[in-house]
Amino acid sequence: MKKSYIKSRFLLLFAVAATSMTAVSCSDYLTDDPADKFTNENFWQSEDNVKTFSWLNYDTFYGYGNGTTIGLSFFYYHGSDYRVDDNLSAFTFYQMPITAATTNVYSWNEYYTLIRRCNLMLDKIPSVPMSQEKKNHYTGVAKFFRAYTYFRLVQKFGDVPYTDKFLAQGDPEVYAPAMPRAQVIDKVIAELEEAANLMLVADDKNVTVNKYTAYAALSNACLYEGTYRKYHLGQDGSAYLNKAKTASLAIMNNPSYKLNADWKGLYNSVELLGNTEVILAKRYLTNVIMHSLQNYTNTSTIQYGLTKWAADSYVTTNGLPIQQAGNAQFTGDDNVTKTFANRDPRFGKTVNPANYGYKGKPFGTTALVSMSGYVFELYNNPATTGPDVTTGGRNYTDAPLFTLSEVYLNYAEACAELGNATNNDLDISINKVRIRAGIAPLTTDGVTASAGGVQINDPRRTSALEQLTGVVNPLIWEVRRERQIEFMSWTTLRQADIYRWKKGDYLDTNKNPDVNLGARIGTPVGTQTVVDANGYVKIYPASTRTFEPKHYLMNIPTNDIDLYKAQGVELKQNPGW
- Each residue of 337-360: pLDDT tens digit? 999 999 999 999 999 999 999 999
For 179-194, b where at least 16 C-beta lie within 10 A, e where not — what string? bebbebbebbbebbbb
> Which whole number is the average pLDDT over 278-302?
93
When mean pLDDT is compared across 132-136, 139-143, 274-278, 386-390, the lowest value belongs to 386-390
Residue 22 lies in a domain: yes
| pLDDT value of position 21 | 35
pLDDT in tens, 513-568: 999 999 999 999 999 999 999 999 999 999 999 999 999 999 999 999 999 999 99
Give the residue-averaged pLDDT of 113-139.
Answer: 97
Please give the tally of structural domains in the chain.
1
pLDDT of residue 402 exceeding 80: yes
Does a structural domain hold residue 294?
no
Per residue in 211-260, pLDDT (tens digit) is 999 999 999 999 999 999 999 999 999 999 999 999 999 999 999 999 99
- CA–CA separation, 512 and 534 (whole Å): 16
With respect to residue 38, please indicate whether it lies within any of the assigned structural domains: yes
- Confidence at 20, pLDDT banded by 50, 70, 90: very low
Average pLDDT taken over every residue of the chain: 92
Is residue 344 in some structural domain? no
The amino acid sitting at 552 is Y
What is residue 269's predicted lDDT score, i.e. its pLDDT? 97
pLDDT beyond 90 at 486: yes
pLDDT for 299 equals: 87
Backbone angles phi, psi at 159, to 5 degrees: -65, 130
Distance in angstroms (rounded) separating the CA atoms of residues 83 and 428 = 32
DSSP assignment letter at 401: E
pLDDT score for 18: 34
Q: What percent of the chain is predicted at pLDDT more than 90?
A: 86
Indicate whether 189 pLDDT > 80: yes
Residue 4 lies in a domain: yes
In a domain, 115, yes or no: no
Region 478-494: what's the mean pLDDT? 97
What integer pLDDT is reported at residue 83 of this predicted model?
Answer: 86
How many other CB atoms sit within 10 Å of the CB of residue 398? 25
Per-residue pLDDT, 12: 37
Taking the C-alpha atoms of residue 382 and residue 329, their distance in angstroms, rounded to an integer, is 31
pLDDT score at 320: 98
Domain presence at residue 159: no
pLDDT at 79: 77
Tell me what pLDDT residue 37 has. 57
Torsion from C-alpha of 216, 218, 220, 225, nearest 10 degrees: -170
Mean pLDDT computed over 260-280: 97
Segments forming the whole domain that contains residue 33: 1-43
What percentage of the chain carries pLDDT values higher than 70? Answer: 93
52: in domain: no
pLDDT confidence of residue 577: 97
pLDDT at 364: 78
CB 251 within 8 A of CB 211: no
